[in-house]
Amino acid sequence: MRHALRGATLSFHRDPFLHDPESSYTYEPDALVIIDQGRIEACGPYRALADRIEPETPVTQYAKHELIVPGFIDSHVHYVQMPIIGAYGTQLIDWLERYAFVAEQRSADPAVAAATARAFLTECLRNGSTTGAVYCSVYPQSVDAFFTEAERLGMRMIAGKVLMDRNAPEVLRDTPQRGYDESEQLIARWHGQGRALYAITPRFAPTSSPEQMELAGALWQAHPGTYLQTHLSETHQELAWVHALYSERSDYLDVYDHYGQLGPRAIFGHGIHLSEREMQRLHESGSAIAHCPTSNEFLASGACRVHELKDARRPVRIGLATDLAGGSSFSPFETMLAAYRAAQVNGHSLSPLHAWYLATRGAAETLYLEDTIGSIAPGFEADLAVLDLASTPLIAGRLAECASLADQLFVQIVLADDRAIRATWVAGELRHDRGNAA
């Protein structure tokens, strides 16, 4: 049914790292967003659009202290690891063996996978997140469970079965041919089905044999429009391991390159310890980095050099990501704050506008979906989060001191949590509403 939202809107239409930040977004204090069949039909100042709606068209009116933004996009996340969020931390390789590999085995049971998917997507919606690039486990049933639940909610989701044939517990291993065949069946079942998109998902170079890497690249080349997601250059220990396993390759990225795994719709998680050559190659191949700052802090992996990756001479597509459950929060605010801290560690200040872009349009660019989601514009899918900018007494008080929109956004980034997510709309349907939640 055709309907509309009325309230303040904020949306990016281009990259503020590469253009004047102040002219990279649109803020409209009293906007009308007209939605028809899950898409934004029109949006702009209320006074300019009011005559486009009939008296009987339902209009959801938001308050002065509320702000309609594009739904947040998580460019790298492991839904099957949700049960171990907050497990007492170690560092990556030990953490994988001690926690992640144990949790992932539980998703072999379709009922467990379905319950985890349901809990995971509920939590995404409670945090205003509407799209993710999602790692399932090695079991095809974990992918079926995830897409089934996402379809029920109408969410645009990218996901895939992990490919892993070595350096993991026996029960979590496939073989090159079996991984290929199961992935291909999942592509046939899910890719392009409603809002689902498939990602071929070799976990990372150490857990795939050269034969599996070869087939993963071939499978991706054989199915244009699918994604390829994996991990890249997260820790020094991992780097040394990759070097030992693939000693004939010039660096970590060259391993993926050799197996035909670079290009548009290739999403590499982390990318912390990259060389200039690797950044250049990411740029020229159109590959993207998912920046996972809460995870990088939690596992003491390092701090991704966002400003260097965004060097205007060879900018790389970058989106923010939670990397749950190595990451420690579903919250886009906490993730943006961690990105701010990571930039600080590298001697840069990440402005709230830049952080917001990375969590919305920037993440859409990593997915090559920047013409579909991540902005509020005509023709875009109507995935929206509505923020309460005064969700706690502390924030409300602090807001009164803010002189600019950027200041207001930064206060949200530092202080807000899920209480600030007033509502979440998915393809024009209200899927989370704090007003009614109580």
Residue 346 beta carbon to ligand GUN: minimum distance, rounded to whole angstroms = 19
Q: Which of 323/365 has CB closer to ligand GUN?
A: 323
Q: Which of 16/160 has CB closer to ligand GUN?
A: 160
**Residues 425, 400: contact at Cβ < 8 Å?**
no
CA distance 408 to 422: 16
**Residues 4, 51: contact at Cβ < 8 Å?**
no
Could you tell me the CA-to-CA distances from 234 to 202, 273, 282 in Å, in that order? Answer: 15, 7, 16
Q: List the single partner that 257 binds among Zn ion, ligand GUN, none, CB under 5 to 8 Å by kind.
A: none
Q: Which of 104/383 has CB closer to ligand GUN?
A: 104
H/E stretch holding 96: none
Residue 221 beta carbon to Zn ion: minimum distance, rounded to whole angstroms = 24
Strands 3-12 and 66-70, sheet pairing? parallel
Applying CB under 6 A, does 203 fall inside the site for ligand GUN?
yes
Q: Which of 174/323 has CB closer to Zn ion?
A: 323
Total residues contacting Zn ion by CB under 5 A comes to 2
402, with CB counted inside 10 A (0-12, 13-18, 19+), is: middle
**Residues 308, 280: contact at Cβ < 8 Å?**
no
Q: Which of 268/333 has CB closer to Zn ion?
A: 268
Q: List the single partner that 204 binds among Zn ion, ligand GUN, none, CB under 5 to 8 Å by kind.
A: ligand GUN
CA distance 245 to 9: 50
Instruction: Give residues 281-340 in contact with Zn ion (rule: CB under 5 A).
Output: 323
Give me the 321-360 binding string for ligand GUN, x by CB under 6 A, dash otherwise. Answer: --x--x----------------------------------
Q: Which of 107/391 has CB closer to ligand GUN?
A: 107
Contacts of 393 (CB under 8 A, 6+ apart): none
CA distance 73 to 64: 25
Question: Which one of 74, 149, 234, 365 is in contact with ligand GUN (CB under 6 A)?
Answer: 234
Cis omega (within 30 of 0) on the bond before 222?
Answer: no
Question: Which one of 21, 83, 128, 269 is in contact with Zn ion (CB under 5 A)?
Answer: 269
Applying CB under 6 A, does 231 fall inside the site for ligand GUN?
yes
Q: List the single partner that 100 binds among Zn ion, ligand GUN, none, CB under 5 to 8 Å by kind.
A: ligand GUN
Q: Which of 77/382 has CB closer to Zn ion?
A: 77
Residue 350 beta carbon to ligand GUN: minimum distance, rounded to whole angstroms = 21
Q: In the structure encoding, which two tokens stand for residue 396, read together?
A: 């409300």
Give me the 71-100 binding string for ligand GUN, x by CB under 6 A, dash otherwise. Answer: -------x-------------x---x---x
CA distance 18 to 4: 33
End-to-end CA distance of the chain: 26
- Residue 117 identity: A
Residue 206 beta carbon to ligand GUN: minimum distance, rounded to whole angstroms = 8
Residue 14 beta carbon to ligand GUN: minimum distance, rounded to whole angstroms = 30
Total residues contacting ligand GUN by CB under 6 A comes to 11
CA distance 139 to 169: 13
Q: List the single partner that 234 binds among Zn ion, ligand GUN, none, CB under 5 to 8 Å by kind.
A: ligand GUN
Q: Which of 71/269 has CB closer to Zn ion?
A: 269
Residue 328 beta carbon to Zn ion: minimum distance, rounded to whole angstroms = 13
- Residue 316 has φ and ψ, to the nearest 5°, of -110, 140
Question: Which one of 295, 322, 366, 391 is in contact with ligand GUN (CB under 6 A)?
Answer: 295
Q: Which of 269/293 has CB closer to Zn ion?
A: 269
Q: Which of 306/385 has CB closer to ligand GUN?
A: 306
- The SS3 of residue 77 is strand
Instruction: Give residues 352-411 in contact with ligand GUN (rule: CB under 6 A).
Output: none
- Residue 175 has φ and ψ, to the nearest 5°, of -125, 165
How many residues does this entry show for the chain? 438
CA distance 381 to 384: 9
Residue 242 beta carbon to ligand GUN: minimum distance, rounded to whole angstroms = 11
What angle in degrees, to the nearest 10, is found between the helix axes of 210-222 and 176-190? 20
Applying CB under 6 A, does 161 fall inside the site for ligand GUN?
no
**Residues 294, 325: contact at Cβ < 8 Å?**
no
Bridge partners, residue 134, by sequence:
77, 159
User: Strands, DSSP E only, in 166-274?
Assistant: 196-202, 227-232, 266-270
Q: List the single partner that 199 binds among Zn ion, ligand GUN, none, CB under 5 to 8 Å by kind.
A: none
CA dihedral 324, 372, 404, 334 (to 10 degrees): 0
Binding site for ligand GUN (CB under 6 A): 78, 92, 96, 100, 203-204, 231, 234, 295, 323, 326
Binding site for Zn ion (CB under 5 A): 269, 323
